[in-house]
Chain A
Amino acid sequence: MNSKKTNNQNIKDFLFALIKNKWALTSIIWLFIIIAIAIFASQLAPFDPNKNNIMERVAPPLTLDKQGNMKYLIGSDALGRDSFSRLIFGAQVSLIVGFSAVLVGGILGTALGVYAGYYGKWIDDIIMRLADIQLAFPFILLAILFLVVLGEGLINLIIVLGIGQWVTYARIARAQTISQKEKEYVEAAKALGVNNFSIMFGSILPNIFAPLIVIASFNVASVILAEAALSFLGLGVPPQIPTWGAMLAESRDHIFAKRWWMPFFPGMAILLTVLAFNIVGDWLRDYLDPRLKEVE
């Protein structure tokens, strides 16, 4: 009963703080819009994103049809596919990959980090040496190597990007666990004979969740950027699935024809989405714990 009340109070505080920060609020609203666009893509898109129309290739933005109605809002691509519809569907891959990879990396990294911090000694050594090894790779290159071998596919992309993220979470979770494990509540739980697993993930984890959430928010941003880069290089999902990165890659052939709209819109879509995640992350960090400023 009591805890429920404080929970409600917490949510109220959170919402008040959010409303007071206009940038964070705008970003959250924007993210909800993007998520809605991704979910209702097939209802919202004016055309089938894969329907070719050889007669109407590389149409400029605001192209009208014969009746004078809007046909290609932001133009069409080299195969005559409607860019606006592809942009709308592109939100799906970015968001699915962004959230899923962060979930994979976050769970893996947090689990390993808590283990390392809680048990210390050789478990800690092994996990942290693994982290060193991972950090020695420029991540994009490692992802390229694995994706070239594994071939294209959404699941492959999520797994490779997800595994690439674990180190950040592991380091934070480990440091936080070390600082928590000497506290009274952990001692008390140990004295009561609670098993280690429950202590780690039942008692300690909720107390170290705040910095991990902050990291996750920034991390979605960087995963979306990485996904765009990989799609740009022709890796990731099969080519018939529209992605913002692939749209940028296709636009490369039209730079010298000065068709600025072809790279402009997908790039803006990436920029605004990533920016929103970064702003929310920044705000969350300040809100949850001003001392976390150093964590990044």
Chain B
Amino acid sequence: MKKIEAIIKPFKLDEVKDALSQIGIKGNTVTEVKGFGRQKGHTELYRGAEYVVDFLPKIKLEVVVTDDMVEKVIQTIVNTARTGRIGDGKIFVTNVDDVVRIRTGERGEDAI
């Protein structure tokens, strides 16, 4: 089992979520986050006073899948979240040792 963590542009969230459910991903977790990479920040100007804003709003999407689904999920996210411009985000993949469904006590892949 792997956890796929994708940092994406906020306006792409709905598109990515729909595409994931079409390939059978039943659940995921979304967080509003702030950060920066190569895109850097932007400047804001209030009555002539300039402020550099380093951290830009992004969406962090987390989904845990079985090993055979990993490539398909990654491709789906890349295809739907990509705009081709700087700041499209990143995907991180990590191992997951175990999963527990709290309601039933199911473990492992059955609990995903």
Q: Do A and B bind each other?
A: no
Interface residues of B (CB under 8 A from A): none
Interface residues of A (CB under 8 A from B): none
